[in-house]
Amino acid sequence: MLFFILGAYFYYSILSNQTTKIHIEDGYILIDKKSHPWSDFTGYTLEVEKANNNIKNIVLVYAKGYTIYTINDKEENIKDFSKSLDQHLPLVGSFEQSFLEKVIRLLKL
């Protein structure tokens, strides 16, 4: 069981270090090279670091799940992106996470 958890952690670490480019278009959002229509999403939320109030992650919420992207950009670009995203998706206060997902994210942070 320990090897499974360690393997999952290392797999997650490898995936989380990849750079993803996100572009907002009129009818869809382009994530890397794949387009997703706005109707796929129910909302989005921004995760903020408690220590310095910097925006750390953007979470795109689907009807049956979510995807978390770590933000590595200038604060001005993040604000502009968020304003553009507001025109297409509602900002939600929270999203559903399982206990295992919360533990994995705490270990990662």
Contacts of 30 by beta carbon, 8 Å cutoff, 6+ apart: 21, 22, 23, 24, 36
Give the percent of the chain with pLDDT over 70: 77
> Does the pLDDT of residue 55 top 70, yes or no?
yes
Question: Do 60 and 82 contact (CB within 8 A), yes or no?
Answer: no
Say whether 28 sits in a helix, a strand or coil: strand
What is the pTM (predicted TM-score) of this model? 0.69
Question: What's the confidence (pLDDT) of residue 22?
Answer: 84
Question: Do 92 and 44 contact (CB within 8 A), yes or no?
Answer: yes
Residue 42 vs residue 99, higher pLDDT: 42
> Does the pLDDT of residue 15 top 70, yes or no?
no
